[in-house]
Amino acid sequence: MDQTAKTAKQASIRLAAMGTDIKNRALAQIAAALKAAAGDIIAANKADLAAAENNHLAGPLLKRLKFDENKLADACAGIESLIKLDDPVGKTLGRTELDTGLELHKVTCPIGVIGIVFESRPDALVQISTLCLKSGNAALLKGGSEAEHTNKALAKVICEAGENTGLPAGWLALLETRDDVAEMLKADQYIDLIIPRGSNQFVRYIMDNTNIPVLGHADGICHVYIDREADLDMAEQIVVDSKCQYTAVCNAAETLLVDEKITGQFLPRIKTALEAESVEIRACQKTLAIIDAKPATEADWSTEYLDLIISVKVVADLDEAIEHINKYGSGHTDTIVTANKQSAETFMNFVDSANVFWNASTRFSDGFRYGLGAEVGISTNKIHARGPVGLDGLVIYKYKLLGTGQIVADYAQGKRKFTHRKMDNSS
Amino acid sequence: MDQTAKTAKQASIRLAAMGTDIKNRALAQIAAALKAAAGDIIAANKADLAAAENNHLAGPLLKRLKFDENKLADACAGIESLIKLDDPVGKTLGRTELDTGLELHKVTCPIGVIGIVFESRPDALVQISTLCLKSGNAALLKGGSEAEHTNKALAKVICEAGENTGLPAGWLALLETRDDVAEMLKADQYIDLIIPRGSNQFVRYIMDNTNIPVLGHADGICHVYIDREADLDMAEQIVVDSKCQYTAVCNAAETLLVDEKITGQFLPRIKTALEAESVEIRACQKTLAIIDAKPATEADWSTEYLDLIISVKVVADLDEAIEHINKYGSGHTDTIVTANKQSAETFMNFVDSANVFWNASTRFSDGFRYGLGAEVGISTNKIHARGPVGLDGLVIYKYKLLGTGQIVADYAQGKRKFTHRKMDNSS
């Protein structure tokens, strides 16, 4: 493992300086190689699926584990669109003339080595490794043991196709054992960022067991707040979509907050609408005074159900809604439904979440819907990248200073003065 | 401590939504209040200085501890220039129309609560707390015990002047005990970022003892590489400036790398120049074949002397220089001296450091010299902010989605399509 990480670090230095052309050629080659190896990959996946069935893996997990012709076609289509996206590396973010003949350039560059740990979905392996390649990062991958054969087949094809196109050896490596993960989480001298993909408990385990920065999110406790000035038809649609359109995902709503002024009109109709979708309601005392439902406990306000359950709370006003969200939310995605622009702006400014919405479903919080192209995941971090993270979240910058022999002593002694003139970013 | 951090978190939500006007008024009020309290502050500092002398604190530490009329005037001038800088909060980084009536805005916002731990220099307290204020962040401060009275006096004035201008209570708090620091490093539910300022060992201790992201750097092992195509007069000047202009700082050079092709001409003259500045040379075997010096050990290549000592190594070529820097350097600042543009570009692209220079002294790596205004420190992180970090490094962004009732089901079912039209950033 130590040698693998060291090799990845060396590869990352060379990858960082690779042009867009060679990276795009490698991506095209990877898509072609994946198609050519379809038989092997699908056979490997069938072996994993058979083992999983023998081990009585639950239905939804089996579904995630499956990697068939359709999944492969989707993965290759993803690579094709990745080729079309701008290269995020080598962009000039700013140029300053410090003095005559002394120019400072702030230029984007890759982060370095990214460690990716994911649970059963093999699609994630293709998606994240190709995003790393396009952004010039080396990648160390560790998938779930239940997808062992599929992951091995995919990684082998991707790794070799990349190396055959001229990428440095070791630019991508698949870790095989659980011990490798424990070692990876300690390898902070080689690995610059960890991206975990999987369940809350899994992500939290990763976060609690490494000093390497982690990009991602554990919980997704998203709120819909219905303001007193909401259009109630719109409110009903947004609540149902946020809760029911896909319940098992991080941007689905878990708690509905309703302004006290409209409980009489809104609560009965939303109960009908949610129950039509088989949603169980867990309600606060004030809600229970209006509609019949299961009483909520304190724990409900901080529970991510990922299921057909919603907690409902009546709040006195916008301020109480904001306070509740900042206290119990997970900083992921929260939406207000209101016709009042001022209230919407207050909500969006004071709710401390990566994604704050006005009159739209929480389910829009997604890299594809945002138009970012592919995403490595959704981050609730307050550092580096937040919300849906695409290619831009996989780069940092370096400062390049281009001089003609300048020394600091001349400026310290007042012989020369800084001009600090902003220049345009074209070089 | 827990209550202080909780209050800071609440204050940070209100600070985040405060306009530029009120933040600038608070900064002006703080500068005025510091001037008005000059007597108390300087008296407090005299008490600290007297105690430090009794405890036989070393000369340089005493100098850093001193906070007199001049230091106060500098601190207030710093605040005046901070007022003139653009507010980094509320800038629109991007706008995308996702569909008719559905706009996504990526807008800068503060990070939240920043914990600052610094050693003896009380100036750091003023500088960092006002930078946090301008960027809308709440701050928890902990200074060294030897500056206890000075820090208390400064924090009281700054905190009260801010609150009197309308900043939320608890926007700034001074922690008092060593136990408070240990608790702060654990308070990841309230604190979003830790900025340590002090010696290497101190910064490393902080990094090793918290799961909260840390912005800063431990070592500053900076290199000067003299290429075979260097102008040797320029090379000599840059080496002397990088090593000697101020030895006790992170951007001073610690290692000189010399291309094998020019050792005969360059090594004797640089020995003379460095010895004229009383610099001790620790040299590799190939260097010792040309000049007389103390032999270097393996440990020298990764030692930050912060003193009049330099290690010197002969390298076969540019590639070996890059490899040495990436292996032994600390990712801080490295410079190449060469007349060859291609070699300079290779060096700047392959050296994996925050600051990579061509024909300029390593000592230019500094927020003031870069024209950033004030700086909170220099970061060798590969995440978020790198190199000298000013106001822009104290903000992150949030996504605001402005809809008119859109739900995801309509897009999933193909009833509506995303337009993903890039808009200009003016709102």
**Sheet strands (E) in A51-207:** 92-99, 102-110, 113-118, 138-142, 172-174, 193-197
Is B129 within the bounds of a domain?
yes
Report pLDDT for A35: 97
Count of Cβ atoms closer than 10 Å to residue A186 Cβ = 16
Q: What are phi and psi of B114, to 5 degrees?
A: -115, 125
B319, B245: one domain: yes
Distance CA A370, CA A305 (A): 25
Is A400 within the bounds of a domain?
no
Question: Which of A192, A191, A211, A194 lies closest to A202, judged by CA?
Answer: A194
Report pLDDT for B417: 95
Question: Which of B52, B198, B204 lies closest to B128, judged by CA?
Answer: B198
Q: What is the pLDDT of residues A88-128, one digit of tens each?
A: 999 999 999 999 999 999 999 999 999 999 886 898 899 99
Q: What is the 3-state secondary structure (H, E, C) of A378-418?
A: EECCCCCCCEEECHHHHEEEEEEEEEEEECHHHHHCCCCCC
Q: How many residues does chain A have?
A: 427
Residue A40 has pLDDT above 60, yes or no: yes
A358, A264: one domain: yes
Report pLDDT for B199: 83
A67, A127: one domain: yes
pLDDT bucket at A178, cuts 50 / 70 / 90: confident
Q: Do A98 and B344 touch (CB under 8 A)?
A: no
Report pLDDT for B200: 85
Q: Is A220 left (phi over 0), alpha (psi -120 to 50) or beta?
A: beta
Report pLDDT for B324: 98
Q: What is the crossing angle of helices A20-36 and A148-164, to 10°?
A: 140
Q: How many CA atoms lie within 13 A of B371 on its CB side?
A: 20
Is A235 within the bounds of a domain?
yes
The minimum CA-CA distance between A375 and chain B, rounded to whole Å, is 15
pLDDT bucket at B176, cuts 50 / 70 / 90: confident
Q: Do B213 and A213 touch (CB under 8 A)?
A: yes
Is B69 within the bounds of a domain?
yes
B292, B307: one domain: yes
Q: What is the ipTM of this complex?
A: 0.93
Place of tokens 């609440």: B10
B140, B207: one domain: yes
Report pLDDT for B148: 94
Chain A residues 77-96 with CB within 8 Å of chain B: 96
A175, A275: one domain: no
B3 Cβ under 8 Å from any chain A Cβ = no
DSSP state of A353: S
Is A425 within the bounds of a domain?
no
Chain A residues 229-268 with CB within 8 Å of chain B: 231, 234, 237-238, 240-241, 245-246
Q: Are A332 and A217 in contact (CB under 8 A)?
A: yes
Residue A427 has pLDDT above 70, yes or no: no
Q: What is the pLDDT of residues A5-32, one digit of tens each?
A: 999 999 999 999 999 999 999 999 999 9
Q: What is the pLDDT of residues B189-229, one digit of tens each?
A: 999 999 998 888 889 899 889 889 999 888 899 999 999 99
In terms of residue numbers, what domain contains B226? 222-370
Copy the structure tokens of residue B266: 């360059």
Report pLDDT for B34: 98
Cα–Cα separations (whole angstroms), residue A67 to A72, A120, A150, A251: 7, 10, 8, 24
User: What CATH number does residue A192 fall under?
Assistant: 3.40.605.10
Q: How many CA atoms lie within 13 A of B130 on its CB side?
A: 32
Size of interface A-B (CB pairs under 8 A): 229
Determine the residue type at B412: A
The minimum CA-CA distance between A37 and chain B, rounded to whole Å, is 31
DSSP state of B210: -
The radius of gyration of chain A's CA atoms, rounded to the nearest angstrom, is 25
Chain B residues 353-412 with CB within 8 Å of chain A: 353-361, 363-365, 369-371, 381-384, 386-388, 396-409, 411-412
Q: What is the crossing angle of helices A123-134 and A69-84, to 10°?
A: 10
Determine what percent of chain A is predicted with pLDDT higher than 70: 99
Measured in whole angstroms, how far is the alpha carbon of residue B77 from the centre of its chain? 20
Q: What is the 3-state secondary structure (H, E, C) of B136-156?
A: CCEEEEECCHHHHHHHHHHHH
Determine the residue type at B177: T
Q: What is the 3-state secondary structure (H, E, C) of A216-257?
A: CCCCCCEEEEECCCCCHHHHHHHHHHHHHCCCCCCCCEEEEE
Q: What is the pLDDT of residues B66-98, one digit of tens each?
A: 999 999 999 999 999 999 999 999 999 999 999
A232, A330: one domain: yes
Higher pLDDT, A200 or A161: A161
pLDDT bucket at A211, cuts 50 / 70 / 90: confident
Place of tokens 């402005």: B402
Distance CA B160, CA B167 (A): 9
Q: Do A350 and B13 touch (CB under 8 A)?
A: yes
**Is A277 in a helix, a strand, or coil?**
coil
Distance CA B93, CA A351 (A): 19
A324, A262: one domain: yes
Instruction: Report how far apart the first and last C-alpha atoms of chain B are (Å, whole number).
Output: 41
A176, A292: one domain: no
**Sheet strands (E) in A316-369:** 333-337, 355-360
Q: What is the crossing angle of helices A20-36 and A69-84, to 10°?
A: 170
Is A409 within the bounds of a domain?
no
A47, A123: one domain: yes
Q: Do A357 and B401 touch (CB under 8 A)?
A: yes
**DSSP H/E element including B10:** helix B2-16
Distance CA B82, CA B85 (A): 5
Report pLDDT for A405: 96
Report pLDDT for A36: 98
Residue A396 has pLDDT above 80, yes or no: yes
Q: What is the pLDDT of residues B258-317, one digit of tens each?
A: 999 999 999 999 999 999 999 999 999 999 999 999 999 999 999 999 999 999 999 999
Is B307 within the bounds of a domain?
yes
Q: Are B388 and A117 in contact (CB under 8 A)?
A: no
B259, B203: one domain: no
Chain B interface mutation, best of A335, A364, A411, highest count of B Cβ atoms under 10 Å: A364
The minimum CA-CA distance between A34 and chain B, rounded to whole Å, is 28
Copy the structure tokens of residue A275: 């129950």
Distance CA A202, CA A397 (A): 30
Report pLDDT for B132: 96
B142, B263: one domain: no
Is A299 buried (19+), middle (13-18) or exposed (0-12) by CB count in 10 A? exposed
Is A375 within the bounds of a domain?
no
User: What CATH number does residue A271 fall under?
Assistant: 3.40.309.10
Residue A374 has pLDDT above 90, yes or no: no
Domain count, chain B: 2
Question: Which of A8, A399, A386, A394 lies closest to B380, judged by CA?
Answer: A399
Q: What is the pTM of this model?
A: 0.94
Question: Which of B373, B319, B414, B364 lies closest to B77, judged by CA?
Answer: B373
